[in-house]
C-alpha cells in the first residue's frame, strides 16, 4: 500500500529540467538570430506580412463570438477529462461500480454535447 503510491515532489525534477531545456532552446534561438543576423530595417520589412496585400487598419479588431463558443466548449470538456484522471488511475479497484458512475457522468455531458450539435452552435454559417 505505502510503496505503490509513494511519489514525492523530487519526482518532478526531470519534467522541470525538460521544460527548462525547451524554453532555453526557444529563447537562445530567438536571441541568437537577433545577434547573428544582419540588421536592415526598412518600412516595408517592419510592416506585418499579409500575403502581399496592403495592411488595412490594425490587429485590434473584435473577433466573432463563434471563436469564443469553441473555446468555452473546449474548457468544459477539458474539465470533464480532468475528472477522468483519478478514475482511470483507480480503474481496477473501482470495478464495475466505478464504470457505471463514470458513464452517468459522461452521459450527462453527452446530453450537453447533443444539445450543442442540435442547436448548431458549432456550425460556421
Partner 1 sequence: MSLFYFVAFLSIFFSLMVIITKNPVHSVLYLVITFFTFTVHYVLLNAQFLAVVNFIVYMGAIMVLFLFVLMLLNLNKETEPMKSVLIKVIGAVAGMCLLVTVAGSIRAMEVSDPLILKNPDIGLVSSLGKVLFNEFLLPFEISSLLLLTAMVGAVLLAKKEQKSI
Q: Binding residues for partner 1, per CB under 8 A? A: 2, 5-9, 12, 16, 58, 60-63, 65-69, 71-76, 78-80, 82-83, 85-87, 89-90, 93-94, 97-98, 101, 104-106, 108-109, 111-113, 115-116, 119-121
* In contact, 105 and 83? CB cutoff 8 Å: yes
Extract the C-alpha cell encoding 42.
526598412
Residue 22 vs residues 11, 44, 101, 109: alpha-carbon distances, Å: 19, 33, 39, 36
* In contact, 101 and 107? CB cutoff 8 Å: no
To partner 1, the closest distance from the beta carbon of 67 in angstroms equals 6
To partner 1, the closest distance from the beta carbon of 52 in angstroms equals 25
To partner 1, the closest distance from the beta carbon of 27 in angstroms equals 14
Amino acid at each position: 500500500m505505502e510503496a505503490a503510491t509513494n511519489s514525492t515532489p523530487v519526482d518532478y525534477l526531470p519534467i522541470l529540467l525538460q521544460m527548462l531545456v525547451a524554453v532555453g532552446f526557444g529563447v537562445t534561438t530567438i536571441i541568437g538570430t537577433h545577434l547573428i543576423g544582419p540588421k536592415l530595417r526598412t518600412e516595408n520589412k517592419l510592416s506585418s506580412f499579409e500575403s502581399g496585400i496592403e495592411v488595412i487598419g490594425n490587429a485590434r479588431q473584435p473577433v466573432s463570438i463563434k471563436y469564443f463558443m469553441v473555446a468555452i466548449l473546449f474548457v468544459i470538456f477539458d474539465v470533464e477529462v480532468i475528472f477522468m484522471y483519478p478514475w482511470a488511475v483507480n480503474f481496477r479497484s473501482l470495478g464495475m461500480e466505478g464504470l457505471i458512475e463514470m458513464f452517468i457522468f459522461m452521459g450527462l455531458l453527452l446530453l450537453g454535447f447533443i444539445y450543442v450539435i442540435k442547436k448548431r452552435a458549432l456550425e460556421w454559417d
